[in-house]
Every structure is written in C-alpha cells, then in structure tokens.
C-alpha cells in the first residue's frame, strides 16, 4: 500500500450543519476543540499501516466467518496484525513472569469510570443526525457544550418532557437535558423512542461500551452506495469491475501472484469470502444529516462499519453513516489485544516493555553478561529493579525476576516522574489527574497526584521532537510542554488537512490537548512504543478507552462528545516530554 496522504489529519465529517449553529468549513482547529462546530472538523494526524491490514498475499481464500453479530477480519489480516505469541523457550533460563501480549478477555477499567449510558428512568430526546448540539442556553450558539450522535439519546431534565420544555430563538421548542444544557426538538431529534428512522439508526449505533465501537477496514479504492446499487450504478462507479472480479477469482484460487507484484500487494489482506448473512431489513437513504457527503473512499483511507452482509452475489459493509461499501474493495483490520498495566497491589514502576521485537534476556556472570537463551516477547512487560550496569557499549537493566537482565535499547521503560505539574496547594482535594507522555521513550503513565495508576506504550509522531522554526504538522512531530484535555469524543472521523479525500473513520476515544494534536485510539497499526503517528499520541484501542474514562472532565452519560467546561471540573493535564 502506498503511504497514506493522512500525514496530518483533522477530525470531522463534511455533512452539512445548520448555518445558525456552525459555519460550513474549517481547516485547522485554532484552540483545542473550540471550533469542532466549524464544519464538524477536528484536526488530527495519522496514517494507516499496511502491515495491520495484511502484508502478504494469502495462499488461499480464508474460510467464511462465523455468523456472529459483527464481521470478523480475514485470516491474512488477523495473522499480520495480531500481537505475536511468546516464542518457544530455548534451553536456559525461562523468560521472566512478564505479561504476554495481553488478551482483551479481561479489560482494565478505571476505578471511578463513569457509566457511558444513564440507566435512570424517564423521558429522553433522541438524535437522528451525526451531530445534535447541546447548547449552554436555549438558543443556537457556536459555544456548544457537547453533542449527541446517530441513535443516541440523553435523559431530559428530571426525566420529564413537561419540566424540560422551554422556548428560545432558533427552535420551536428547546429541552433541558442532564446534567446540563439544551437540545432543540426539530428534524434532527425526536421524543418518540419508536420513531421509525430512529429505530434504524439505533440498530447500527456505535458500541460505545467497547474499545471497538465499530469494526474497521482499509479501503483499496471503494465506492460508497446509498443502498444496494443497480448494475448501471456499479458500472458507473467501478470502471474496472470486470478486471476486479478476475483478480478476486485469482485471489480465491491462491493465484493472485499471477496478476503481478503490484496487484498482489494491493490485494494482500482482501477477504473475498462471503459472510453468510442477509442484508438488514431496510436499506435506503437516510439523508445528509446521517451520511457523509462523499461517494468514494480513497485507497489508504479507512472505513468503520456496524454490520456486514451478502447480497447480489457480493459481500457488503454497512458503514457507520448508513451507506454500503463492497467488502472486496477493503482489507479488514484485526482487533488489537495489547493494553497497558494497572499499577498498585504490588505492581509498581519502573516497568520495561519490549518494543519493536522480542528482547533477549541475559544472566550476569563474573565475566560480565551472557544470553540466557530466552526472550521477553514483543509488547510484554517486566518489572525492573532500577539497577543499571554497563556491558561494553550496552546499558543493562535488572529485572525483578530471578536476576535476569535486559538491554536498555530493547525496552521502553516507564519510570516515575520526579515532579508533578501542579503548584503546592493547587486543586487541593481534587484527584489532580495528569498523564506523562514520553515521545522518544514511547511510554505513557497516568497519575493521580503523585501516584502512578496506569502505565502503557504510546506511538507518538514519526518526526519525533519538534523542529525549531517548522510547523509541527509539516514534520509529523509531537508538541512538547504541559497542556490540558480540551475536549473528549467517543468517536471522531479524521480528515486530512492536505487531502480531504483521505479519512480515518470513527477513530475511538479522542482527547485533544494541543490544537490538532490528541490522545486517541489507533486501530490501524500496532507499533506501540515506536514513532509512528503524524504527531498525535496514538494508543491501543483498549488503552484509549481506559484513559478516556479515567481522565477529567468526565464525559456525561449519553453524551458522545464535549468540550472542557469549568462546570464539569478541572481537566486532566497532559505533560509531553522527550
């Protein structure tokens, strides 16, 4: 796959918004999230990774996925992206009892995580558009507090439409919602939970309680259809359809290499097998309030989909914005299992994570150090004593497991910070949450005051540290300094600020901290601990969800996004250093 143009991305979608609420276009976010309403764009900074979507032509088509609710990735994509298993043990000392690349069966969760949805009974107002703004007063404003999205809803004040209803300019009726703000009742909303359009939207809404709100795939050049296309529509949108079908036949037969090296590379990871599921009961145009205004997904862009099905002798993805995309024009991403470590109960810093590759283990002898015959698997972690020693040109770090040692260059080391970013007495009585991001070090540690509570790996900008006199976006660098969480979004679509055809759809658990730069999940690569992004701080999907639920201000239940407001409490501070 070619390098994506998504060198510097902004979050958003280009569907029209009410003119009284937002202008239609914006480029970069001048203050963190203060202008999300400007064409619903949030700048970002990412690129896809071919290795995550499948790096080699499959020998044969993979078996059809099981009839689960959500589509599963192809075998080729899964094998390319799955965290590696621990290698067989060589003779000698066993590897320390470090965690292997963790499974998502038992996901970490912050102690004080707020619920994503309110379970309190009462009447609600429901969203039938991608952005339903929550305003601070019953009137249109660019100074919104937050928003709801497709199929979402929020409890009305005291659960009562009668008590919540009020009047103001720009809307026939405003409704006060919990815990604050007002939503306009109009074409984009309804009080009827059985509204036919709402029922369709709700059936395919984001699964916000999971690290993966959707399934995801990379486009190799995919058209977007409003409903199942006719043969004429396919002919118009897919000029190479006949040749494409021939290449798919070669792929199914394990002969794709006959099509040439470039074609084989393009189709590596494409899953040409059927799903074995019928289409949804209703397919059709839900209007511009729901779908993004693009009819094509450029190669290297990504697609978020809520379900998948077979129809007209082809398999299709039903996207997050309710259009259909041919599955054979995409490469499904495998789900990433890696996540960090909850600290406490005997687990403490420093910790070393094996990054890039397995980390060989060493024993210390009278003559120096010798290999122990085993290794710490890539992305696994081990407790360290803090002791260092020299071995020729190498710095060696001692583990807490039977005196085994590792080379410092093989590890990303999470260490306790020497000071906290708060003045004495500041925010006394508050949790004083903050995160310590190391760009070159590749780690992220979350703190409550001076107590570290979570440690993991991050992937910062591939350009490394800021270059004096150069724009951060232009060098793909991550800004250094002390910032704050300015806004939080359960999902947000990222659009390239240099090529608007290139998108990353529905990126999960986004927290902006410096203009276009954010902490967020990355479902398209697993190069944790390495410089990889366009400048943002990438986290594994599981880690991004943990951090999102832990950080402050807490996103109110049912809200899909918000900007930080003093009424919701002090924001988490973000310290970014080399």
DSSP string, 156-209: BGGG-HHHHEEEETTEEEEEEBSSS-EEE-STTEES-TT-HHHHHHHHT---TT
Q: What are phi and psi of 353, to 5 degrees?
A: -105, 130
CB atoms within 10 A of CB 342: 17
**Confidence (pLDDT) at 516:** 85
**Confidence (pLDDT) at 402:** 80
308-326 tens-digit pLDDT: 999 999 999 999 999 999 9
22-31 tens-digit pLDDT: 222 222 233 3
Structure tokens at 537: 């701080």
**Confidence (pLDDT) at 36:** 47
Structure tokens at 547: 């951090």
- Domains of the chain from N-terminus onward: 9-47+419-577 (2.40.440.10), 124-203 (no CATH), 341-414 (2.30.30)
Q: Residues of the chain whose pLDDT is less than 50?
A: 1-41, 50-51, 54-105
**Confidence (pLDDT) at 56:** 30
**Confidence (pLDDT) at 146:** 97
DSSP track, 17-56: --TTT--S--SS-SSTTTTTTSTTEEE------TTTT-SS
Residue with tokens 């902006």: 512
Q: How far is CA 431 from CA 109, 510, 569, in A?
A: 17, 21, 11
Q: How far is CA 126 from CA 36, 129, 130, in A?
A: 21, 9, 12
CB 140 within 8 A of CB 21: yes
Structure tokens at 473: 């976006």
């Amino acid at each position: 796959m070619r390098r994506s143009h998504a060198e510097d991305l902004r979050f958003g979608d280009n569907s029209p918004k009410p003119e009284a609420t937002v202008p239609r276009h914006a480029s970069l976010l001048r203050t963190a999230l203060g202008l999300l309403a400007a064409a619903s764009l949030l700048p970002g900074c990412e690129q896809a990774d071919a290795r995550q979507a499948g790096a080699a032509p499959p020998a044969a088509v993979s078996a059809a996925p099981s009839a689960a609710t959500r589509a599963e990735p192809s075998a080729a994509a899964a094998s390319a992206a799955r965290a590696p298993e621990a290698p067989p043990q060589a003779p000698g000392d066993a590897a320390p009892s470090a965690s292997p690349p963790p499974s998502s069966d038992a996901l970490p969760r912050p102690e004080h995580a707020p619920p994503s949805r309110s379970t309190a009974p009462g009447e609600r107002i429901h969203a039938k558009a991608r952005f339903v703004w929550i305003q601070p007063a019953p009137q249109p404003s660019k100074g919104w507090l937050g928003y709801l999205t497709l199929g979402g809803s929020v409890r009305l004040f005291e659960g009562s439409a009668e008590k919540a209803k009020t009047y103001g300019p720009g809307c026939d009726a405003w409704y006060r919602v919990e815990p604050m703000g007002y939503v306009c009742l109009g074409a984009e909303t309804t009080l009827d939970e059985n509204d036919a359009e709402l029922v369709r939207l709700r059936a395919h809404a984001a699964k916000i309680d999971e690290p993966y709100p959707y399934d995801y795939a990379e486009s190799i050049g995919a058209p977007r259809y409003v409903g199942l296309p006719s043969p004429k529509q396919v002919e118009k949108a897919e000029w190479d359809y006949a040749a494409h079908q021939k290449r798919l036949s070669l792929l199914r037969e394990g002969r794709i290499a006959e099509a040439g090296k470039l074609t084989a590379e393009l189709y590596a990871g494409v899953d040409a097998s059927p799903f074995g599921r019928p289409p949804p009961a209703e397919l059709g145009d839900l209007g511009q309030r729901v779908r993004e205004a693009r009819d094509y997904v450029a190669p290297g862009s990504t697609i978020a989909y809520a379900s998948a099905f077979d129809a007209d002798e082809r398999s299709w993805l039903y996207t997050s914005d309710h259009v259909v995309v041919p599955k054979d024009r995409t490469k499904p991403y495998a789900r990433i299992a890696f996540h960090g470590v909850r600290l406490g109960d005997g687990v403490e810093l420093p910790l070393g994570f094996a990054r890039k590759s397995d980390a060989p283990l060493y024993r210390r002898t009278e003559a120096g150090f010798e290999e122990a015959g085993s290794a710490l698997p890539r992305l696994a972690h081990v407790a360290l004593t803090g002791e260092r020693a020299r071995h020729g040109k190498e710095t060696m770090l001692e583990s807490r497991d039977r005196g085994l040692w590792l080379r410092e260059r093989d590890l990303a080391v999470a260490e306790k910070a020497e000071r906290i970013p708060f003045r004495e007495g500041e925010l006394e009585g508050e949790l004083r949450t903050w995160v310590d991001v190391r760009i070159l070090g590749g780690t992220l540690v979350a703190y409550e005051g001076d107590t570290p509570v979570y440690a993991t790996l991050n992937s910062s900008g591939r350009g490394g540290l800021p270059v004096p006199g150069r724009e951060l976006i232009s060098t793909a660098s991550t800004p250094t300094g002390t910032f704050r969480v300015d806004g939080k979004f359960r999902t947000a679509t990222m659009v390239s600020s240099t090529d608007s055809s290139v998108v990353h759809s529905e990126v999960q658990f986004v927290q902006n901290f410096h203009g276009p730069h954010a902490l967020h999940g990355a479902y398209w690569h697993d190069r944790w601990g390495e410089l990889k992004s366009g400048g943002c701080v990438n986290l594994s999907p599981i880690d991004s969800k943990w951090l999102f639920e832990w950080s402050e201000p807490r996103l109110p239940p049912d809200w899909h996004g918000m900007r930080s407001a003093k009424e919701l409490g002090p924001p988490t501070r973000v310290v970014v250093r080399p």
